[in-house]
Structure 1
Amino acid sequence: MIACDDMPVRSADPLTDDVGPFNRLSASQANTWDDCPRLWWYQNKMRLKFPQTPPLFLGRAVEECVCRVLMESPGLVFANAPVDIIANGVDHLLPLFDDELPDDFLSWCESRVDVHWPGIRDSMHEEWSKDARKAGNWHEYSMEAYRDMCVSALRMHLDEVRICMETVSQTELNNWRDGKRPEIPAPDGRSKEGPNPIARKGDCTLVEAWEIARPWFVDPDAPLFSHNVIHPEHWFQGEYDLVYRHCGKIRIMDLKASRGGGDRSGNYIEQLR
């Protein structure tokens, strides 16, 4: 169980870690073993390198795009704002007036995806192109389909936002309005302390619910694998995608940029268990 004020990250204890970073089990390893023990042996014991196909990189692109939009706020960022609008944090941004807020939050999300997606997509394409083990044809994959996956993830997030708006307690709402944050908050670009500048009065608004419901996720600017969670006995490690902590409940969401038709997606349901 993850405490509501804790970030779902646990580092290895160097004094008791007798497993080591290269011998831990992971969910993907367990799935590989179930599918083909010989393949698991090739990958994890013989350390053979396998081809890097476009979906591996496009999946990372989808996750980064979703997280970039989640870091932003419809109460601070116009739908057509530049891609680097919060590059220096959000403390310098002025809250939008009520008549400037988006009428449709899903449309705002789609617009923000369309701002972020092209650059992230092209960056991943370049990274894949330079990989010595690249395989497949990038142009065989629909970039529009992967863009739509970003929107689908944000549609799911909006469901959480609406639940938050309808069920948030007065205590949690007041704490957020007063600027009280978890010890390690979700990435949102804020650094200043004090009352939240986009707080309202009365019932929780949709903009406030977006902020309160924002899940913890790996900051896309953080180094790779720097936010792993490692079992206290060090035999297992992984990385959470989205951890919702609002309204006193923990909900862990795993993003999968797939329509379930590939050879890597057959065990997703088992992995998510």
Structure 2
Amino acid sequence: MPVGLPPKGGPMGRTRGRLSASALTTYLRCPRQWLLGYQVGLQGPVRPSQILGVVLEEGLCDLLMMHPPSTASFADLETWALDRVGDAATSVMQAGREAWDEVLWKTSEDAWDHVHVSSLEQRLRGGVQLFLEEVRACHAAGGGPYLEARRNGEQPFAVPEPCLGCAPVFPLPEKVRDVELRSWQAPSTAEWSPAGAPVSWNEAWECARPWFKDPRVHQPQRLYHPDGWASGELDLVLRWDGNVRIVDIKSGTPGSAFSSSLEHQLRFYAWLWHATHDGETVSGMEGWYLESSERVAYAPPSSDAMEGLTETYLSHHRAMQNHERGVMAFPASTETACSGDVAGCQWCGVGRSAEGHWTVPEHLAWIKDLPSVSMRSPYAPLGEVQGRVAVSGRLTGAWGPMPNHFAEPVLGAVLVVGDQHITVEESEPGAFPSLHDSLEREVVLFDALPGVWRDQAR
């Protein structure tokens, strides 16, 4: 399975208690960048490229989910696929614009105006071309070892590759409202030839389709280390030939400032796959760069190297967990601030001497003149946010124990306040075991932790 369930409860059930690929690569680039970004939460303004990386990946996955019609040649299949890129680029542009408008702190208000549909179309086209290379290889291999099984309507994998017309696999289906009532019908389905017939080009597309993060699934689709201290979310897994190759999708080119971190990221994923799949090793690791339509391949770690990688990652994890705590000086002294030359370094390159002299790398000069952040609902200064509230209403709709967002079994109910329905849930297992004792009664909850999930109070 390319996805799994997190450990039940405890500090390792919480995201910040686990080692991830992004945290690891940031830590390897600059430990102070990791500390300020991941632990303190000190980030810089959002760039359009950060949003594009997400929406372009989802747009490419939407294209790969489609079912091609019966085609007589590779040229026909390629034409069919590329003809759909324009509409996909328009959808990506719209999704990106909506995400950009929701950002509170941007590099500049008009930065998104420099994003053009033509550039999105180019990158999606590059991603489709990379996948078509797999389709061509699959066709040359006669469809791979699973062709006849698929022709018989069988699915060779426990977690199928996402495609139109097939229901998505939710890691925690019990947390999806009315999941059994949803319809996943599609206007087209896969077309298969009779048993024993030569593989067709549209069949090669269906067989070569990888597993990828299903854009229809809002839950994390991660792998979790059996001991709970590491997790990772793969972009794409190629497995049509009976082997496993892991792929990370990048929206730019191999010459980007962050490209040096790709091999570390993929090695971490390969190690995590080995730890979660009974010692199975991946046969390949690749980065797919959409803008240049390039694939960059790396040799995966062997099974003999896994023990050493475990020790290495465990030592990094321990170092992260044992970082300095309590009040932390910021800005750092000029002696301990980093140079700011490493990709992603922003606040960690800012220093101030004992005499009050500031040191800011030239490319971070914007930090000297931070823009004022305008507050608008639902945002407010941290000092004005209530940490605890008291709320009254009628308690109804009990459920649980059921997994919360950390897969911890907790009790839940609904508090009816006027015409509002507010979800009430234990903050952790055993926090309020008598919650269901007051059902269908007017109650007052004291010292409750307020929150919002999908624009709904809870």
- Name the CA distance, whole Å, in 1 between partners of 2:208 and 2:163: 12
Shift of 1:172: 2.0
Query: Alignment partner of 2:22: what SS?
Result: helix
Q: 1:185 aligns with which of 160, 164, 167?
A: 160
Residue 48 of structure 1: aligned partner = 42
Query: Alignment partner of 1:148: what SS?
Result: helix
Shift of 1:236: 1.8
Where do residues 229-268 of structure 1 align in structure 2 (5 Å cutoff)?
229-268=223-262
Residue 127 (structure 1) aligned with residue 99 (structure 2): yes
Query: Alignment partner of 1:220: what SS?
Result: coil
Shift of 1:128: 1.1
Residue 115 (structure 1) aligned with residue 79 (structure 2): no
Letter in 2 for 1:155: Q
Bigger share in strand: 2
- The answer to whether the 8 A contact 2:61-2:214 is kept is yes
Q: Structure 1: any 5+ residue segments left out of the alignment?
A: 1-5, 76-95
Residue 212 of structure 1: aligned partner = 207
- Name the CA distance, whole Å, in 1 between partners of 2:132 and 2:254: 23
Residue 222 of structure 1: aligned partner = 217
Letter in 2 for 1:134: K
Shift of 1:53: 0.9
Letter in 2 for 1:106: E
Q: Is 260-269 or 23-32 further displaced after alignment?
A: 260-269
Shift of 1:261: 4.7
Q: Would the alpha carbon gap of residues 244 and 51 (structure 1) be closer, same or farther in structure 2, given more than 3 Å must change? A: same
- The answer to whether the 8 A contact 2:143-2:199 is kept is no
- The answer to whether the 8 A contact 1:215-1:244 is kept is yes
The normalised TM-score by structure 2 is 0.49
Aligned CA RMSD, in angstroms, stands at 2.5
- Name the CA distance, whole Å, in 1 between partners of 2:190 and 2:59: 25
Q: 2:4 aligns with which of 7, 10, 16?
A: 10
Q: Would the alpha carbon gap of residues 169 and 219 (structure 1) be closer, same or farther in structure 2, given more than 3 Å must change? A: closer
Residue 192 of structure 2: aligned partner = 199
Residue 23 of structure 2: aligned partner = 29
Query: Alignment partner of 1:255: what SS?
Result: strand
Q: Would the alpha carbon gap of residues 107 and 160 (structure 1) be closer, same or farther in structure 2, given more than 3 Å must change? A: same
Shift of 1:216: 0.6
Shift of 1:238: 1.8
Residue 163 of structure 1: aligned partner = 137
- Name the CA distance, whole Å, in 2 between partners of 1:26 and 1:170: 33
Shift of 1:242: 1.2
Q: Is 59-68 or 254-263 further displaced after alignment?
A: 254-263
Residue 74 of structure 1: aligned partner = 68
Identity of aligned residues (%): 29
Q: Is 18-27 or 155-164 further displaced after alignment?
A: 18-27
- Name the CA distance, whole Å, in 2 between partners of 1:261 and 1:34: 19
Give the length in aligned residue pairs: 241
- Name the CA distance, whole Å, in 1 between partners of 2:82 and 2:88: 10
What's the CA shift string for 1:70-100, capped at 9, x where partnerless?
000112xxxxxxxxxxxxxxxxxxxx5x68x
Bigger share in helix: 1
Q: Would the alpha carbon gap of residues 51 and 205 (structure 1) be closer, same or farther in structure 2, given more than 3 Å must change? A: same
Q: Would the alpha carbon gap of residues 245 and 41 (structure 1) be closer, same or farther in structure 2, given more than 3 Å must change? A: same
- The answer to whether the 8 A contact 2:66-2:163 is kept is yes
Q: Would the alpha carbon gap of residues 107 and 171 (structure 1) be closer, same or farther in structure 2, given more than 3 Å must change? A: closer
- Name the CA distance, whole Å, in 2 between partners of 1:39 and 1:125: 28
Q: Which protein has greater RCO, CA pairs closer than 8 Å, 6+ apart?
A: 1
- Name the CA distance, whole Å, in 2 between partners of 1:142 and 1:259: 17
- Name the CA distance, whole Å, in 2 between partners of 1:110 and 1:146: 13
Pair member with larger Rg = 2
- Name the CA distance, whole Å, in 2 between partners of 1:123 and 1:234: 34
Residue 20 of structure 1: aligned partner = 14
Shift of 1:48: 2.0
- Name the CA distance, whole Å, in 2 between partners of 1:46 and 1:17: 18
- Name the CA distance, whole Å, in 1 between partners of 2:26 and 2:104: 23
Shift of 1:110: 1.9
The normalised TM-score by structure 1 is 0.79
Q: Structure 2: any 5+ residue segments left out of the alignment?
A: 168-188, 268-458
Residue 339 of structure 2: aligned partner = none
- The answer to whether the 8 A contact 1:24-1:237 is kept is yes
- Name the CA distance, whole Å, in 1 between partners of 2:166 and 2:34: 44
- Name the CA distance, whole Å, in 1 between partners of 2:91 and 2:116: 16
What's the CA shift string for 1:93-139, capped at 9, x where partnerless?
xxx5x68x884322222221111111221221121122112224123
